[in-house]
């Protein structure tokens, strides 16, 4: 693994680069991209990403050009010398890949790695009519309770039906007005890479605060045992086993903080801790410290890969 120096408050992007480097499927797809005809390379985020990921995977003692990547993001309004939200920057990078790659087929394959297809049902509680909409997410945004919680519990809460009343009422075409409704979400398909966003920042009376409460997460799990009847009738995947390979960690409060990462090595399957330029091998028990504690290290994003731990396993885009 290659450490990355902190350059103008770059810990957030450094951490995301470590998780993207551990997502070898992204690097493999970018390596297939013929960039000979790409213009404006200093503004092209996927091109700079391809270069920095290749350098991070290299054994040569060469300079890792992550500063070029940081300046490229800055030119695309992800500013240097500013503290950023890790999940927002991650989604911005995925969006830049879609917008700036001239090979749209490869760009869609990269998006497909993270694509969670969902079916949303909105039932009017007055006339019982149902509106259904299909959409997709590039991560699973999960609310965190203010006391002890678990990844499985967060997923179950995400899929629970919610009643929308009062100011949250929705327009019903049948009734012609806003009415109390019941909203539910079902999963149509799950991605090869399941990115989980633990929503630890909450607006309370106009102030943003961070939830440092304990949220446990497994190293491996079968999501079908958690989802239950939360699958759509169109769900057709056979494999729902996931293995954790990266954890984005935030320490500090809502107004300040620092990002680090735990990542699993592709070949050895050992865990490593990346704190900017500092890299050290750790145990799974040390990774579990990111479950959360007051003003300490708290897991903010979890990266799970579908299937076994076999090195070099090819992604399955069928789902």
| The model's pTM | 0.93
In whole angstroms, give the CA distance from residue 25 to residue 193: 9
Q: Domain 1-114 class?
A: alpha beta
Report the pLDDT averaged over residues 266-294.
94
Nearest to 110 by CA among 155, 66, 55, 49: 49
- The answer to whether residue 195 scores a pLDDT higher than 50 is yes
φ/ψ of 161, rounded to 5, equals -65, 145
* pLDDT band of 148, cuts 50, 70, 90: confident
The pLDDT of residue 206 is above 90: no
At residue 63, the pLDDT reads: 67
Q: Could you tell me the pLDDT band of residue 318, with boundaries at 50, 70 and 90?
A: very low
Top-confidence residue, 203 or 160? 160
DSSP 8-state secondary structure symbol assigned to residue 231: B
> What mean pLDDT is reported for the chain?
92
Asked if residues 74 and 96 have their Cβ atoms less than 8 Å apart, the reply is no
pLDDT interval class at 21 (50, 70, 90)? very high
**pLDDT higher than threshold 50 for residue 192:** yes
Q: Are 125 and 182 in contact (CB under 8 A)?
A: yes
Please tell me the predicted confidence (pLDDT) of residue 295: 58
pLDDT of residue 313: 44
CATH 3.90.70.10 maps onto the chain at 1-114, 139-160+191-319
pLDDT band per the 50, 70, 90 thresholds, residue 147: confident
Say what the pLDDT of residue 46 is: 97
One of 3.40.50.2000, 1.10.275.10, 3.90.70.10, 3.90.640.10 is the CATH number of 139-160+191-319, namely 3.90.70.10
pLDDT band at residue 312 under the 50/70/90 scheme: very low
Give the pLDDT score at 208.
87
Q: Is the pLDDT at 61 greater than 90, yes or no?
A: no
Q: Is the pLDDT of residue 269 over 70?
A: yes
Half-sphere exposure of 268 (CA within 13 A, CB side): 10
Residue 316 — pLDDT band, cuts 50, 70, 90? very low
pLDDT interval class at 317 (50, 70, 90): very low
Instruction: Write the pLDDT tens digit of every residue in 118-144.
Output: 999 999 999 999 999 999 999 999 999
pLDDT confidence of residue 308 = 62
Residue 104: band (very low, low, confident or very high) from pLDDT cuts 50, 70, 90: very high
Burial of residue 135, with CB atoms counted within 10 A of its CB: 0-12 exposed, 13-18 middle, 19 or more buried? exposed
Mean of the pLDDT values across residues 203-232? 91
**Alpha helix stretches (DSSP H) within the chain:** 11-22, 24-31, 45-57, 66-75, 86-100, 104-114, 151-159, 224-227, 284-287
Q: 207: buried, middle or exposed (CB in 10 Å: 19+, 13-18, 0-12)?
A: exposed
Sign, CA torsion 81/87/88/90 = positive
The two three-digit tokens of residue 222, written as one number: 């079968």
Structure confidence by residue, pLDDT tens digits, 282-311: 999 999 999 987 557 899 999 999 986 554
Predicted pLDDT at 268: 94
Helix (H, G, I), strand (E, B) or coil at 266: coil
């Amino acid at each position: 693994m290659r450490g990355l120096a902190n350059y103008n408050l770059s810990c957030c992007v450094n951490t995301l680069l470590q998780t993207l480097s551990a997502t070898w499927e992204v690097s493999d797809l970018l390596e297939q991209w013929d960039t000979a005809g790409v213009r404006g390379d200093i503004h092209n985020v996927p091109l700079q990403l391809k270069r920095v990921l290749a350098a991070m995977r290299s054994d040569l003692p060469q300079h890792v050009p992550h500063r070029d990547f940081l300046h490229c993001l800055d030119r695309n309004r992800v500013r240097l010398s500013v503290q950023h939200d890790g999940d927002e920057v991650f989604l911005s990078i995925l969006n830049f890949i879609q917008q700036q790659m001239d090979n749209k087929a490869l760009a869609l394959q990269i998006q497909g790695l993270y694509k969670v297809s969902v079916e949303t049902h909105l039932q009017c509680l007055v006339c019982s009519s149902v509106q259904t909409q299909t959409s997709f997410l590039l991560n699973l945004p999960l609310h965190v309770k203010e006391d002890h919680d678990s990844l499985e519990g967060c997923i179950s809460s995400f899929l629970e039906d919610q009643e929308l009343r009062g100011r949250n009422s929705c327009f019903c075409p049948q009734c012609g007005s806003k009415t109390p409704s019941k909203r539910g979400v079902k999963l149509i398909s799950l991605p090869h890479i399941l990115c989980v966003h633990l929503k630890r920042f909450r607006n309370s009376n106009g102030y943003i605060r961070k939830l440092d409460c304990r949220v446990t997460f497994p190293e491996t799990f079968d999501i079908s045992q958690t989802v239950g009847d939360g699958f759509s009738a169109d769900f057709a995947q056979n494999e729902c086993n996931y293995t954790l390979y990266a954890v984005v960690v935030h320490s500090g409060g809502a107004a300040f903080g620092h990002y680090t990462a735990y990542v699993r090595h592709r070949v050895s399957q050992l865990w490593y801790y990346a704190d900017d330029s500092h890299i050290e091998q750790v145990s799974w028990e040390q990774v579990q410290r990111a479950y959360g504690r007051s003003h300490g290290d708290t897991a903010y994003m979890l990266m799970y890969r579908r299937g076994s731990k076999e090195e070099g396993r090819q992604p399955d885009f069928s789902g």
